[in-house]
Amino acid sequence: MFPQPNRISLFSLSCLLALFLFGSTCARATEITIWNFNDSDLLADHGNGTLTSTFNPLNVLFAAGTTNNARLGDTAGQSLSLQGGTGTANNGRNVTFSVNTIGFANIFVSFATQGTSTGFNSNQFQYSLDGLTFIDFGTPFTPATAFGTTPVIFDLSAITGLNNNPNATFRIVFNGATSSTGNNRLDNIVVEGTNATIPEPTTAALMLTGLLGLLSLKRRKKEMAAEVRRPPH
């Protein structure tokens, strides 16, 4: 029999391994930046980031918002309302928002949206790793006619270049408006991710398997030393 403390240590490390794996697998997303537009401006309301628009400023308005995708206790308040403009000149124009994702991985972008029947019915979401070159992500989406309760969500966790990136940038390109007053509303734009310092499950398993191996080796050495000291029969 080897000493009881070693048995306790093995059990403790096994529990620690389970906790590591559970914590890594269940890492919770953290809001990095949020725009709720309740102040009727384009400034970030939580976190740091910039949001700009190429729309004619006369067609960048604010209207009644929603709690769809609201975070951190935000109220419905206002939403960003984008109009087609004279001669529907705003077709092809965009809203762009940049966020520093240093310290975060598994990036998600989500927002509430709605559009009128003559508003923009073909909206393309894009991302950029440098804020200059944009890449289409998925196919164009058509907003519902009311905010409802389900936000539009883009899972960018497979785009590892957005992780730990001070220049992570996202864009929505609007098309399909058929009247000057046709409009789309955006509300509660959220960029979120998981803490990049939390070990992935495989990494955690390797780390603690190594610790278990070292403890087993130490136990074996003690057993061998006991054999050497044991008096002959």
What phi-psi label fits residue 8: left (phi over 0), alpha (psi between -120 and 50 degrees) or beta? alpha
The pLDDT of residue 196: 81
Number of domains in the chain: 1
* Domain harbouring 48, CATH code: 2.60.120.260
pTM: 0.76
Structure-token match 């906790």, residue found? 19
222 lies in a domain?
no
The pLDDT of residue 5: 46
Q: Is the pLDDT of residue 27 over 80?
A: no
pLDDT per residue as tens digits for the range 105-134: 999 999 999 999 999 999 999 999 999 999
Q: Which residues of 182-219 are buried (b: 16+ CB within 10 A; e: fewer)?
A: bbbbbbbbbbbbbeeebbeeeebeeebeeeeeeeeeeb
CA distance 44 to 189: 9
The pLDDT of residue 28: 80
Average pLDDT value over all residues in the chain: 86
**3-class SS of residue 136:** strand
Are residues 112 and 165 in contact, defined by beta-carbon separation less than 8 angstroms? no
The pLDDT of residue 176: 98
Q: Is the pLDDT of residue 84 over 90?
A: yes
* Residue 47 belongs to domain spanning: 28-195
Range of lowest pLDDT (66-80, 104-118, 151-165, 202-216): 202-216
